[in-house]
Amino acid sequence: MKLTRTLTLLFLLISMHTMAQKEPNYDESKVPALSLPDLFISESGAYIKSKTEWENVRKPEIFKLFEREVYGQIPKDFDQITFELVSQTANPYEDISTLEEVNITVLRNGKSHTMRLNFFLPKTGNGPFPVILLINYKPKYADGRLNEEGFWPVKELIERGFATASFHAETVAPDQVESFQSGIISTLYPEQSGLADGIKALGAWGWGAMRAMDYFEHHPKVDSQKSILVGFSRSGKAALWTSANDPRWAITFANESGCGGAALSKRKFGETVEAINRRFPHWFADNFKKYNENEESLPLDQHMLPGLIAPRAVYYASAREDQWADPKGEYLGLSLGSRVYSEIYGKKAEFLTEFEQFSGPVHLESVGYHIREGKHNLTWEDWRIFLEFVEKNL
Ligand code: GTR
């Protein structure tokens, strides 16, 4: 009897909790009228027109806003970094490439953390090769031996003359609320814990990408000036913030990065700030939670992110059925943000077409976008179209 009552109470509590969670909005007519912060009006009210003003005034202001309110501060300092080649093999693509499995060990304040990088080099030619890094969070693709649907198409990339590498996000910060700190945060950067603008998992993964770049820079067969950073979904968000922090990436590709990545938060379409912070409280800085169901008061939006990467190239992609990631919000984030490329850097980067009107990829100078049919995934089709952009922009 008592058990039945307890169970009924539990059931009631669970249903109340579920009801309290808002249904996502997929109706364009319910999207609020957008009032977005102006890219070019500085905090002191000045209108920013020149490259010097942009780089000295407005860009640092916007960077600080994202750092404080959204992603947290990626730490840049450490005492030592070492690279250890743990194994070198011709497998799994023995005719065309070599796989180097590398331990990257970073020392800070007497503590050390090791992350693993899987790095494929073409066998044809001496290089130096342009390099593509994928921030991976799917365990089954960790070693590059699996290539279902082209998630990490190592063979195809090697055949096109790229070196390519990937690290598994969990070797830097586990993707769980209970344990995300047990990677670099608790070991190397314990002071980040508990800060309202401290990094969580996304920032830690970005730090991992930077350490991979340290490896590329020291590798004689890599042309690190031609390096491409790729992320999908949660790692797409991480890739964008990484590139905003680290100017060494020539091209940054965020595939279906959605809320907290490419898509405008203030549209509240599909995944919202509240929804992402509730499901993944260990991704963004604590400050971002202030904007749960309160996007209006965000002092920024995602259209301000591409400008932190400019003038280096940036590429977004969406999938038509991936409404949760808000394809239109992703397109707007980039098309509005591309004004930094055209107005400050004088590039041919204006998006001339409304989201509803275009079909093929939009490949402009240093800025590109495509949408494909289908669901949320990183597929060979995404890579293939992206590589056409790379050919013109690397
Ligand atoms: C979704 C999540 C997104 C996105 C994605 C992923 O369910 O709500 O923010 O990051 O998963 O990483 O696969």
Mutation to probe ligand 1, out of 71, 280, 324 (largest number of atoms < 8 A from CB): 324
User: How many folded domains does the chain comprise?
Assistant: 1
Task: List, for residues 116-125, the tens digit of each pLDDT value.
Answer: 999 999 999 9
Nearest CA to ligand 1 atom 10: 234
In a domain, 12, yes or no: no
In a domain, 73, yes or no: yes
- CB neighbours of residue 205 within 10 Å: 33
* pLDDT recorded at residue 19: 43
Task: List, for residues 278-289, the tens digit of each pLDDT value.
Answer: 999 999 999 999
- CATH assignment of the domain containing 303: 3.40.50.1820
Categorize the per-residue pLDDT at 1 as very low, low, confident or very high, splitting at 50, 70 and 90.
Answer: very low
Q: Is 276 in the pocket of ligand 1 (CB under 6 A)?
A: yes
Are 307 and 300 contacting, i.e. CB atoms less than 8 angstroms apart? Answer: no
Residue 239 has pLDDT above 80, yes or no: yes
In a domain, 272, yes or no: yes
Residue 350 CA, ligand 1 centroid: distance in Å: 29
In a domain, 18, yes or no: no
Mean pLDDT, range 213-239, rounded to an integer: 98
Nearest CA to ligand 1 atom 5: 233
Integer angstrom CA distances of residue 183 from 198, 201, 208, 210 = 14, 9, 11, 15
In a domain, 43, yes or no: no
* pLDDT recorded at residue 359: 84
Residue 233 CA, ligand 1 centroid: distance in Å: 6
Backbone angles phi, psi at 132, to 5 degrees: -120, 120
* pLDDT recorded at residue 216: 98
Domain that holds residue 308: 60-393
In a domain, 41, yes or no: no
Are 188 and 106 contacting, i.e. CB atoms less than 8 angstroms apart? Answer: yes
As given in the structure block, the two tokens for residue 215 are 């490896």
